[in-house]
A and B are shown apart, each in its own frame.
Chain A
Amino acid sequence: MKAPDDLLYSKEHEWIQRESDIATIGITEHAQKELGDVVFADLPEVGTTFKVNEAFGSVESVKAVSEVYMPVSGEVVETNESLLDAPEKINDDPYGEGWIIRIRLGNPTDLETLMSSQEYSKYVEEESQG
Chain B
Amino acid sequence: MTRTSVTFNLNEPLIFEKSAPGKSAYTLPKLDVEDVPVEEILDSRYLRTEVQGFPEVSEVELIRHYTRLSTWNYHIDLGMYPLGSCTMKYNPKLNERVSRIPSIALTHPLQEEQQSQGCLEILFRLQEYLKELTAMDAVSLQPAGGAQAELTGILMIRAYLTQKGSPRRFVLIPDSAHGTNPASAVLAGYEVISIPSDEKGRIDVKVLAEKMSEEVACLMLTNPNTMGIFETHIEEIAQIVHQKGGLIYMDGANFNALMGYARPGEMGIDVLHLNLHKTFSTPHGGGGPGSGPVVCQQHLAPYLPMPRVEQEGELYRFNSDHPESIGRVHSFHGNFGMAVRALCYILSCGREGLKELSEMAVLSANYIRRRLEEHYDLPYDTPVLHEVIFSDKRQNKKGVTTLDIAKRLIDYGFHPPTTYFPLIVQGALMIEPTESYSKEELDAFIDAMIAISHEAEEDPEKLTTAPATAKLTRLDEVRAARSPILRWEP
Contact = CB atoms under 8 A, between A and B. Distances in A.
A binds B: yes
Q: Number of contact residues on A: which range applies?
A: 10 to 19
A60 B478 CA distance: 11
B478 A39 contact: yes
Interface string B369-410: 000000000000000000000000000000000010000000
Contacts of A40: 481
Contacts of A34: 426
B423 A37 contact: no
Contact of A64 (B423, B477, B481): B423
A39 B480 CA distance: 9
A62 interface: yes
A88 interface: yes
A87 interface: yes
Contacts, number: 17
Contacts of B420: 63-64
Interface in A42-76: 60, 62-64
Contacts of B487: none
Given A63-B420, A64-B420, A39 B426 contact: no
A39 B423 contact: no
B470 to A, nearest CB: 18
A88 B423 contact: no
Contacts of A64: 420, 423
Contacts of A88: 482
Interface in B237-296: none
Contacts of B403: 63
Interface of A: 34, 37, 39-40, 60, 62-64, 87-88
Q: Which 3 A-B pairs have the closest CB atoms?
A: A39-B481, A37-B478, A62-B477
Given A39-B481, A60-B481, 15 more contacts: A34-B426, A37-B477, A37-B478, A39-B478, A39-B482, A40-B481, A62-B477, A62-B478, A62-B481, A63-B403, A63-B420, A64-B420, A64-B423, A87-B482, A88-B482
5 contacts: A39-B481, A40-B481, A62-B477, A63-B420, A88-B482
